[in-house]
Structure 1
Amino acid sequence: MSTLTKPNHIGRKISRIRELRDMKQEALAQALGTSQQAVSNIENSETLDDDKLLAVANALGVTVEAIKNFSDEAMISYFNTFNDSPNNNFGNHHCAFNPLDKVVELYERLLQAEKEKVEYLEKAQKGK
C-alpha cells in the first residue's frame, strides 16, 4: 500500500510540510540535531513517538496538531479560496494577523539567538 493512500501517514505529512516551508531534509536534520538519513527515516515512518513529533513540529515552526491534521486537500481548498472573489485579485485579501506583530516576534527570536550566541562564545573563550 503506498503512502499516498494512507491518510494518517505521519512521515508523509512531515515531508509535505517541510516541502511547503521550502526546507531541505538537511536543514531539518540540522534543526533536529540529527542526520539527513534520520530525517529520511522519519518521513518514511507511518507513526512517530510524541517526543520526536514535538521536536519535528518545533523545527518546522508548526504545532503537533498541524502535522496530525495536515492534508493536501485542505491546502488546495485554502489556496482555491483566493479564486473565489469576483474580482479575482489578491488586493481584496485581508490579513488575519497584524504584520507588525510578526516583525516584532521575528525580531525577538533573532535577539534571543544573538544572546545565546554571545553566551556560547563567552563560555568558549573562558574555556581556553
Structure 2
Amino acid sequence: MKTTNYYNTFIEVAEDCPVKAAEVPPMRGEKTIANIEFELLIDNPYEFTSDDVLFHVYAAKNRLKTKEFDVEREQFFSKGQACFRASPLTKRYGWGAHFDAEGRMAIYAVESDEYQRFSKDRSLTQMKAVRSKKA
C-alpha cells in the first residue's frame, strides 16, 4: 500500500495562497473536500493521519458503507494519492498542517502563534503546500 502520511513535518500554506488569515471553507450545497477535511481536523486534532483523512473524504464523497471500508481503503491506497500538500486547506484557505511523530495531524491558522512556531521549528521537516498556479 502507498501512503501519504508525514512524520514530524509542518506543511506551510502555498506561496500563492490568496488569504492572509485562515478561512473556514464555505458550504455550497454538497460538502466539498475542503469542508470534509476541515470538519474532521478542526474537531479532532492529532487523532487522524493524512491517510485517514484522505480516505474519509473518499468514503464520504462515494457514500461508502462502513462495512466496505477495509476493502475500499486497500484498493484506494493501492495506487498513489495526492498528499496533503495538495489539500485545498493548505492551498486556498490558509491552514498549515502539523504532523507529529506518529503521523497524526492537526491544522493551524496561518495567522496563529502556533503556525508561526511550527514554521520556525527546525526539528520539523518544513514543506510548502503545492502552488495553485504555475510560476
Q: If the length of structure 2 is used for normalisation, what is the TM-score?
A: 0.25
Higher relative contact order (CA 8 A, sep 6+): 2
Whose helix fraction is larger, Structure 1's or Structure 2's? 1
Whose strand fraction is larger, Structure 1's or Structure 2's? 2
Q: If the length of structure 1 is used for normalisation, what is the TM-score?
A: 0.26
